[in-house]
Amino acid sequence: MQNQQEQMHQNMHTGAVPPQMNHGGHEVFDVHEVLSGAVGTMEQYMLLRQHVKDPELLSILDRQYQFMQDEYNITVECFKSGQNPSKPTQSYKMNQDNDFVYGLTPSQPKKPAQSPAELTDACVSSMMLGSIKSGASMKTIAALETTNPVVRRVLADSIPNCIEMAYELSIYQNKHHYYQVPQLAQQDMMQMVNSFAPAQGMMQQTTNINNISH
């Protein structure tokens, strides 16, 4: 056993690292956070499903859950093996259009529900959105610290999927007036939009006077 540990230690210093050991310390901790977060999100979706009343939201929840489960399994597989997973990563495609309704309309102030019976589709979709956004942040941080090329690619591929699922939920909420989007006055918006101009030309190289021989 000691000889095996010494050989593995020597291999890691010479670069001959077994695939399943091809992980840095930060990577291991960060991927653990990602996978734990994915488990929590799927379990939250499972608990929330019974409170969904709108068939459209139920369809979104089920499609996202199934996609997250497949993505979770792929991540677990390549994290354990350090090698390419048995199936390729996929891209999530939402069924919503991308039209937002802008402006604010009067609505009742929000407050926490006092019992599960008070959970509405607005509450459910908001909790789903929060979980997806949290997962996107964790996967981004983990991908930046990941040394294993396969795990890094799987995590990086997952981030656009989180963005797509979050966008789908925000559009759903906006369409049902759960998520209102204010706008600036037109004059203020145009000033902000036109605050930057394109960069042009090459970077000018300057001579370091400290390197000039006297």
Q: What are the tokens at 55?
A: 């068939």
pLDDT score at 15: 56
Q: What pLDDT shows up at residue 8? A: 47
Q: In which band, very low, low, confident or very high, does the pLDDT at 202 lie, cut at 50, 70 and 90?
A: confident
Q: What is the DSSP string of the chain?
A: -HHHHHHHHHHHHHT---GGG---HHHHHHHHHHHHHHHHHHHHHHHHHTT---HHHHHHHHHHHHHHHHHHHHHHHHHHHSS--SS-------SS--PPPBB----PPP---SSGGG--HHHHHHHHHHHHHHHHHHHHHHHHH--SHHHHHHHHHHHHHHHHHHHHHHHHHHHTTSS-B----HHHHHHHHTS-----SPPPP---GGGS--
Residue 108 phi/psi, 5-degree rounding, is -70, 140
Question: What is the predicted pLDDT for the residue at 108?
Answer: 83
- How does residue 211 score in pLDDT terms, banded at 50, 70 and 90? low
Summarize pLDDT for 104-149 with one digit per residue, the tens: 888 888 889 899 899 999 999 999 999 999 999 999 999 999 999 9
**Which residues, listed in sequence order, are joined to residue 126 by a DSSP beta bridge?**
none
For the chain, give the mean pLDDT: 89
Mean pLDDT, rounded, for 79-90? 92
Determine the average pLDDT of the residues in 61-86. 96
Structural domain spans, the chain: 17-95+119-178
The proportion of the chain whose per-residue pLDDT surpasses 70, expressed as a percent, equals 87
Q: Which residues contact 119 (CB under 8 A, 6 or more apart)?
A: 48, 51, 113
φ and ψ of 99, to 5 deg? -90, 120
- The C-alpha atoms of residue 155 and residue 16 are separated, in whole angstroms, by 24
**CATH class held by domain 17-95+119-178:** mainly alpha
Tokens 């010494």, residue located: 6
User: Terminus-to-terminus CA distance in the chain, angstroms?
Assistant: 63
pLDDT at site 2? 45
pLDDT at residue 65 greater than cutoff 50 = yes
Model confidence over 7-50: pLDDT tens digits? 444 444 445 677 778 888 888 999 999 999 999 999 999 999 99
Q: Choose among 38, 9, 8, 12: nearest CA to 147.
A: 12
Rounded to whole angstroms, how far apart are CA atoms 21 and 208?
Answer: 45
